[in-house]
């Protein structure tokens, strides 16, 4: 036990960059840096949230009609998938903290699996919208599917779909990057890069992953739920 | 090492696995709730409910999964700053959109 | 003897390593600062060239030198290059990059590799934008107003937008690095109340970079998507609202002017204190004013939209808030002036530039009050009055501060002194040339001369000719430093660690500093600008 | 080049004096502070130069001074804020009896349509002393209607109407500029505002200038029939669409509980995008006229709907004698 601890500390010391006084400063700095980065990410999505708010406030009907086309079952399933992936991610970080690299690798692999699961379900939804011409642009065509209630404001429903694709697309892009980052952790983890003394990358990628989950937690109700129309 | 209560590793705080599972369970339950609530027509309250539930979920993720609860004050300040600036962007933009239709000829 | 000591040159960041690779793969903040200095100078001259073409075209009322399409591209490219590739990175990425770690007593920025990445992103963005310009140019104006940019322009809008998008991430990463460094990397004893005002102002600017830049990034991305896929987020023909673009654009682009000016203010604080041999008057107020500007700067963006068709009630709110942001700027000007009171003032070049800055920034700031005044803004909006106002702040303020900072820290960066007499001459030329160029534009603006006009009514000619004449003086004022700075690298006198006998950690290490900045981590036990206890020494160089 | 060398714009509207007054006050205050700073810098730089004042006196700062130079500028600013806002509100509030001119801006020309049906390109004729309200929209990019002599400016947006107004006080010809960059010939998108004395204006109006083919509202009424609007928008309560008589300028209740004023932009939106704001009690059955109605025709239709609120119209759409005519406020 003692020798392995010494080894851990050596790994950690190799990971200490020259301009930091000690590991604690390095860890705090890395973590704060990651939080600052997530702050910029919030503002990045913030521009889209702002557009959504403005148009939803102005063209309520169009947004209601657009959100009728959302598949709530798939959306809710995806929310659950992401929450599960967040759990495995959090447990993975915990395994790294406790010095259980194998457990960490397994948990991270499960996280990746959930990530692909999310993207797969999203792809099914995208395909559905695509074949229904619910993709903004010249080929956009919108029908409510109910002859008694033709589309009242297809123009602004198109904006709803523009925002839907932009927001979920950007979110999916973040998922893809996240999967890449977790894969990198898996490889580094297999090579024994992380110890209880040094696991900043795991922690930071974890923060990133949870943030992407967080964005979806808002996207799901905004796009799928709150414009739902009731009673016909 | 046995899994018991709160542990502290060489660096940083380690939360118990049970806590993570509990948070996961709450999040899943809330997801189910928000879907069910959206199926019932309660007027403007639908929006309120959806956003309140999303905010509860988000807060749980940030506090526990992202360890904000165990993080330095500076990290909390960062999160508060993010919320504040997002609020500025949204609210000041809406000052325009919400008042555009207000009459300007009140004096006539 | 002494000569023998000097031949054995001390190892420093410049001579520790040689070869292209040692520069392009460096993570040393000082070398990255030099990389930025070179690339930003190139962009400055390119932008300056476009400016000169614009001024030459405007010598005559008829648009006869270049075609209107060319003219539109010229002012667009002048704006894009100067705003996104010169003004925003200038002081932070060059002087700030070099000095922030030195000033806080750190060995480097918190994330040295990220710092290098941000230079590469800057270059990638700049090259993307330049390719767009070379292969056909952009003619939307640097503001990219929709629906012109998304629907009616036939130029390379997407390329330019993506260039700015990429450079935006460079800016975000620089800001992030500064914030984390100032929070986490300060030497023992370097408390917030002892932090040099240059760090305070860069910190404030970094807040804006981190919080504002992502919004312009997503906005320009939407413009590019809208143009590429004919979707209608901002296109009124497809139901979008072009004003939403303006809101999102100015949410960043108004605070962005504070990204440009705040670090410049920090430079001025350092210089005024040093050449007055005094602690900055009201240090806390100057420091807090920076933060106040950064926060209030986010609340005023729609004053760019008073005639754009926004709600009059929103205009009222934004007008009121715009006045508030003027106050901390005024506080700074008063405090700098008060710092000189009962000082011991010497007129070295950095101080001359600082005088120029305070004066011109005052004019620029006060004319900003004209623009926040609703009824008056309606008349002068989008005229040369606005052009004059922001050039007073950006060129008269920011570029002056950048020049001041370059002269002040040139000995630290290179270990060599620049020739003082030539430098004073160029400072004078810049001041005279600048005022001759831009003061006439205030008058033209109130007469109603609209901006971005390729041809104009003949009665506006006299003032335009005057402005062009001033621009040529200004150009000479900028060429001179280029020459003597390069000259000084070889022929300049050795500066020694502290040629200005200034306070601050950066002056306590050798010039140029060693790669790791300090031989051992400094421990700070004194207040900022402790000129009282700084040994009295005649300044020997530069007279 | 030296012959015509003005340093100040002409002042030709009722509002110009107010803007200039504020401008002069701001110049005075700015000059005072600029000179104060310049003088202080100059004075300190000379008096405390190193050679005569080698030892600086350390002064920490002064709270009273900081408060003074925070609060005094703030107070002065509030004066400017109040005055500037007063002018702005006047500019945003056209008098009710103003004559109306419809403006279509396009790359790169100004088209004016007068109530009587005359049309003008790049030349706006107005009588002196009369309030003129401009109702403007763009066919393409954003333009901006700027008359320096009147001290007014308003962006002209595609997709909606913006308005501005002025009362010319001096006969003459003045610059009209497009001040929002709009592409290649932005600097050629200029015109003239010709302010005439009322008699000359009358003569011009009746002199066959422009192609007069009935008033704008009459054209609108014709379109109203042609497009079949009248089948649903009947002047009684039996129509499938709301009765438009007396509608203009009134608040209307929408089906989602909001209330909006039925102004020019509301009428415009309801023609192009009928589903966006549906009046309570009606079904969203109206087809869109997007792409079928030109900007000019749209303005004619709006002018017609407006006329329904002002006079008792005759003819098919207007036998709503039971509608109380309350809009004659002047």
SS (H, E, C) C142-165: CCCCCCHHHHHCCCCHHHHHHHHH
Interchain CB distance below 8 Å, C211 and B97: no
Question: Residue D311: its pLDDT value, please?
Answer: 57
If we measure between CA atoms, which residue out of D242, D265, D269, D238 comes closest to residue D253? D242
Per-residue model confidence as pLDDT tens digits over C126-166: 999 999 998 989 999 999 998 999 999 999 999 999 999 99
**Domain spans of chain A?**
42-225
Per-residue model confidence as pLDDT tens digits over A187-232: 999 998 898 888 999 999 999 999 999 999 999 999 998 766 543 3
Mutation site for C-interface testing, chosen from D38, D66, D107 by largest number of C Cβ within 10 Å: D66
Beta carbons of D317 and D221 less than 8 angstroms apart: yes
**Domain spans of chain C?**
27-508
Per-residue model confidence as pLDDT tens digits over D235-270: 777 778 888 888 888 888 887 777 888 888 888 888
If we measure between CA atoms, which residue out of B86, C364, A106 comes closest to residue D37? C364
Q: What is the mean pLDDT of residues C194-212?
A: 96
Beta carbons of C332 and C393 less than 8 angstroms apart: no
Domain C27-508 top-level CATH class: mainly alpha
Q: Give me the CATH topology for the region A42-225.
A: 1.20.120
Give the residue numbers in C contacting B (CB under 8 Å), as ranges.
183, 211, 215, 243-244, 247-248, 251, 298-299, 301-302, 310-314, 317-318
- Report pTM: 0.93
Looking at per-residue pLDDT, the higher value among C408 and D257 belongs to C408
Question: Residue C541: its pLDDT value, please?
Answer: 45
A11: which residues sit within 8 A by CB, 6+ positions away? A192, A193, A195, A197, A198
Of the pLDDT bands very low, low, confident and very high (cuts 50, 70, 90), residue A1 is: very low
Q: What is the mean pLDDT of residues C368-372?
A: 94
Cβ density class D264-285: b for 16+ within 10 Å, e for less: bbbbbbbbbbbbbbbeeebeee
Looking at per-residue pLDDT, the higher value among A179 and C530 belongs to A179
* Weakest-pLDDT range from A112-116, A131-135, C54-58, D281-285: D281-285
Q: Helical H runs in C58-111?
A: 68-80, 88-89, 97-104
Looking at per-residue pLDDT, the higher value among A35 and A229 belongs to A35
Per-residue model confidence as pLDDT tens digits over C461-476: 999 999 999 999 999 9
Q: What is the mean pLDDT of residues A161-183?
A: 96
Cβ density class C257-267: b for 16+ within 10 Å, e for less: bbbbbbbbbbb
Helix (H) or strand (E) holding D182: none
**Domain spans of chain D?**
1-213, 216-318
**Is pLDDT above 50 for C1?**
no
Per-residue model confidence as pLDDT tens digits over B69-82: 888 899 999 999 99
Question: Residue B4: its pLDDT value, please?
Answer: 43
Per-residue model confidence as pLDDT tens digits over C79-99: 999 999 999 999 999 999 999
Q: What is the mean pLDDT of residues C16-24?
A: 88
Looking at per-residue pLDDT, the higher value among C275 and A14 belongs to C275
Query: What is the share, in percent, of chain C residues with pLDDT greater than 70?
Result: 97
Interchain CB distance below 8 Å, C230 and A50: no
D118: which residues sit within 8 A by CB, 6+ positions away? D205, D209, D210, D211, D212
Q: What is the mean pLDDT of residues A77-102?
A: 94
Question: Residue D282: its pLDDT value, please?
Answer: 83
Instruction: Measure the CA angle with vertex A107, ends A101 and A109; round to 5°.
Output: 105
Question: Residue D243: its pLDDT value, please?
Answer: 83
Of the pLDDT bands very low, low, confident and very high (cuts 50, 70, 90), residue D326 is: very low
Considering only CB atoms, which chain A residues are within 8 Å of C212? 43
Of the pLDDT bands very low, low, confident and very high (cuts 50, 70, 90), residue D208 is: low
Question: Residue B8: its pLDDT value, please?
Answer: 55
Of the pLDDT bands very low, low, confident and very high (cuts 50, 70, 90), residue B10 is: low
User: How far is the first Cα of chain D from the last one, in angstroms, to the nearest whole number?
Assistant: 50
Beta carbons of D41 and C359 less than 8 angstroms apart: yes
B neighbours by CB contacts (3+ pairs under 8 Å): A, C, D
Using the Cβ of C57 and the Cβ atoms of chain D, whether some distance falls under 8 Å is answered with: no
Q: How many CA atoms lie within 13 A of D80 on its CB side?
A: 34
C neighbours by CB contacts (3+ pairs under 8 Å): A, B, D
Interchain CB distance below 8 Å, A61 and D276: yes
Distance CA(A96)–CA(A189), nearest Å, equals 9
Query: Bridge-partner residues for D127, per DSSP?
Result: D196
By DSSP bridging, strand D99-106 and strand D132-138 are parallel
Question: Residue D2: its pLDDT value, please?
Answer: 54
Looking at per-residue pLDDT, the higher value among D322 and C228 belongs to C228
Q: Give me the CATH topology for the region D216-318.
A: Cytochrome Bc1 Complex; Chain D, domain 2 (1.10.760)
Distance CA(A178)–CA(D268), nearest Å, equals 47
- How far, CA to CA in Å, does A130 sit from each of A139, C52, C436? 10, 51, 60
Distance CA(D23)–CA(D80), nearest Å, equals 10
Interchain CB distance below 8 Å, D89 and B105: no
Looking at per-residue pLDDT, the higher value among D73 and A1 belongs to D73
Q: What is the mean pLDDT of residues C483-509?
A: 93
Query: For the structural domain made of D1-213, what CATH number should be given?
Result: 2.60.40.420
Question: Residue C6: its pLDDT value, please?
Answer: 47
**Is pLDDT above 90 for C407?**
yes
Distance CA(A153)–CA(C229), nearest Å, equals 21
D166: which residues sit within 8 A by CB, 6+ positions away? D13, D14, D15, D131, D132, D147, D150, D152
Of the pLDDT bands very low, low, confident and very high (cuts 50, 70, 90), residue D82 is: very high
Nearest CA in chain A to B63: A210
Question: Residue C535: its pLDDT value, please?
Answer: 74
């Amino acid at each position: 036990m003692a020798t392995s601890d010494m080894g851990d500390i050596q790994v950690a010391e190799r990971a200490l960059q020259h301009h930091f006084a000690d590991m604690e400063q390095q860890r705090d700095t890395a973590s704060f840096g990651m939080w600052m980065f997530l702050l910029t990410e919030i503002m990045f999505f913030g521009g889209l949230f702002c557009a959504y708010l403005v148009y939803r406030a102005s063209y309520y009907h169009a947004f209601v009609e657009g959100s009728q086309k959302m598949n709530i079952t798939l959306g809710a399933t995806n929310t659950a998938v992401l929450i599960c992936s967040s759990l495995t991610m959090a447990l993975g970080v915990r395994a790294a903290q406790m010095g259980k690299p194998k457990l960490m690798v397994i948990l991270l692999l499960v996280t990746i699996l959930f990530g692909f699961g999310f993207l797969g379900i999203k792809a099914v939804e995208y395909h559905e919208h695509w074949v229904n011409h619910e993709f903004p642009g010249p080929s956009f065509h919108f029908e409510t599917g109910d002859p008694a209630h033709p589309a009242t404001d297809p123009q602004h429903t198109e904006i709803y779909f523009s925002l839907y694709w932009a927001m979920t697309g950007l979110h999916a892009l973040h998922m893809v990057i996240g999967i890449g980052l977790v894969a990198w952790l898996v490889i580094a983890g297999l090579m024994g890069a992380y110890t209880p003394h040094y696991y900043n990358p795991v922690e930071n990628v974890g923060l990133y992953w949870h943030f992407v989950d967080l964005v979806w937690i808002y996207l799901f109700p905004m796009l799928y739920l709150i414009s739902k129309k009731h009673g016909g | 090492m046995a899994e018991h209560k709160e542990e502290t590793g060489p660096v940083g705080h380690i939360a118990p696995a049970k806590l993570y599972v509990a948070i996961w369970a709450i999040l899943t339950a809330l997801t189910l709730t928000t879907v069910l609530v959206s199926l019932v027509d309660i007027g403007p309250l639908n929006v309120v409910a959806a956003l309140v539930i999303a905010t509860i979920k988000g807060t749980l993720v940030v506090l526990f999964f992202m360890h904000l609860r165990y993080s330095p004050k500076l990290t909390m300040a960062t999160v508060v700053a993010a919320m504040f600036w997002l609020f500025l962007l949204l609210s000041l933009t809406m000052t325009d959109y919400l008042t555009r239709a207000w009459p300007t000829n009140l004096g006539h | 003897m002494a000569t023998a000591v000097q031949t054995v040159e001390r190892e420093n960041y410049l001579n520790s390593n040689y070869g292209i690779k040692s520069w392009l793969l460096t993570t040393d903040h000082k070398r990255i600062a030099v990389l930025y200095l070179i690339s930003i100078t190139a962009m400055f001259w390119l932008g300056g060239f476009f400016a000169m073409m614009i001024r030459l075209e405007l010598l005559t009322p008829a648009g006869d030198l270049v075609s209107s399409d060319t003219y539109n591209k010229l002012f667009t490219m002048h704006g894009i290059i100067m705003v996104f590739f010169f003004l925003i990175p200038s002081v932070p990425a060059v002087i700030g990059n070099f000095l922030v770690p030195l000033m806080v007593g750190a060995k480097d920025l918190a994330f040295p590799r990220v710092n290098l990445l941000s230079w590469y992103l800057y270059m990638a963005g700049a090259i993307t934008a330049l390719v767009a310009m070379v292969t056909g140019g952009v003619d939307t104006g640097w503001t990219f107003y929709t629906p012109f940019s998304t629907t009616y322009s036939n130029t390379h809008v997407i390329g330019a937008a993506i260039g700015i998008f990429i450079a935006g991430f460079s800016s975000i990463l620089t800001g992030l690095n500064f914030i984390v460094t100032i929070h986490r990397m300060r030497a023992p004893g370097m408390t917030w109340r002892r932090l040099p005002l240059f760090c305070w102002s860069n910190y404030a600017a970094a807040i804006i970079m981190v919080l504002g830049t992502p919004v312009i990034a997503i906005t320009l991305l939407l413009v590019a998507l809208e143009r590429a896929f004919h979707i209608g987020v901002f296109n009124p023909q497809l139901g979008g609202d072009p004003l939403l673009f303006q809101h999102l654009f100015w949410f960043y682009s108004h605070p962005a002017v504070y990204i440009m000016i705040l670090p410049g203010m920090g430079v001025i604080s350092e210089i005024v204190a040093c050449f007055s041999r005094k602690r900055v008057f009201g240090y806390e107020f100057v420091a807090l004013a920076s933060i106040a500007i950064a926060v209030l700067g986010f609340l005023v963006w729609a004053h760019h939209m008073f005639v754009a068709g926004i709600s009059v009630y929103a205009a009222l709110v934004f007008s009121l808030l715009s006045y508030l942001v003027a106050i901390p700027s005024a506080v700074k000007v008063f405090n700098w002036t008060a710092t000189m009171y009962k000082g011991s003032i010497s007129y070295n070049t950095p101080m001359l530039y600082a005088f120029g800055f305070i004066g011109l920034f005052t004019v620029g700031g006060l004319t900003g009050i004209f623009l926040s005044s609703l009824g008056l803004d309606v008349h002068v909006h989008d005229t040369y009055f606005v052009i004059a106002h922001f050039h007073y702040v950006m060129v008269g303020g920011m570029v002056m501060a950048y020049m001041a900072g370059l002269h002040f820290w040139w000995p630290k960066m290179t270990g060599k002194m620049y020739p003082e007499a030539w430098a004073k001459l160029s400072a004078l030329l810049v001041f005279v040339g600048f005022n001759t160029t831009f003061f006439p534009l205030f008058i033209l603006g109130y007469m109603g001369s609209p901006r971005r006009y390729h041809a104009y009514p003949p009665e506006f000619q006299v003032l335009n000719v005057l402005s062009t004449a001033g621009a040529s003086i200004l150009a000479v004022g900028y060429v001179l430093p280029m020459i003597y700075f390069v000259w000084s690298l070889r022929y300049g006198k050795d500066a020694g660690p502290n040629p200005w006998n200034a306070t601050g950690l950066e002056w306590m290490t050798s010039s140029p500093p060693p790669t790791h900045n300090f031989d051992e981590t400094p421990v700070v036990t004194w207040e900022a600008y402790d000129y009282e206890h700084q040994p009295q020494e005649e300044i020997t160089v530069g007279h | 080049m030296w012959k015509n060398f003005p340093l100040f714009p002409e002042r030709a509207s009722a509002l110009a004096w107010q803007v200039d007054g504020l401008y002069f006050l701001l110049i005075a205050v700015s000059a005072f502070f600029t000179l104060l700073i310049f003088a202080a810098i100059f004075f300190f730089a000379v008096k405390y130069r190193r050679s005569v004042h080698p030892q600086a006196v350390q002064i920490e700062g002064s709270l009273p001074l900081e408060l003074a130079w925070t609060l005094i500028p703030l107070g002065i600013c509030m004066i400017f804020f109040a005055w500037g806002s007063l002018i702005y509100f006047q500019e945003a509030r056209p008098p009710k009896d103003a004559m109306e001119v419809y403006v279509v801006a396009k790359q790169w020309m100004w088209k004016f349509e007068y109530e009587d049906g005359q049309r003008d390109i790049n030349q706006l004729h107005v009588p002196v002393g009369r309030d003129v309200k401009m109702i403007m929209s763009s066919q393409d990019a954003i333009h901006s209607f700027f008359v320096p002599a009147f001290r007014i400016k308003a962006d002209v947006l595609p997709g909606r109407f913006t308005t501005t107004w002025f009362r010319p006080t001096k006969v003459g010809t003045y610059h009209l500029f497009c001040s929002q960059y709009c592409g290649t010939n932005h600097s050629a998108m200029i015109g003239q505002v010709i302010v005439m004395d009322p008699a000359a204006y009358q003569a011009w109006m009746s002199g066959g200038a422009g192609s007069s083919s009935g008033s704008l509202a009459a054209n609108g009424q014709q379109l109203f029939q042609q497009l079949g609007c009248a089948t649903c928008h009947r002047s009684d309560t039996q129509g499938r669409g709301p009765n438009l008589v007396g509608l203009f300028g009134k608040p209307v209740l929408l089906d989602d509980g909001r209330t909006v004023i039925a102004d020019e932009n509301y009428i415009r939106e309801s023609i192009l995008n009928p589903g966006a704001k549906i009046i309570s009690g009606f079904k969203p059955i109206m087809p869109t006229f997007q792409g079928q109605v030109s900007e000019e025709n749209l303005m004619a239709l709006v002018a017609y709907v407006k006329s329904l609120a002002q006079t008792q119209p005759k003819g098919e759409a207007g036998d709503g004698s039971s509608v109380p005519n309350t809009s004659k406020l002047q």
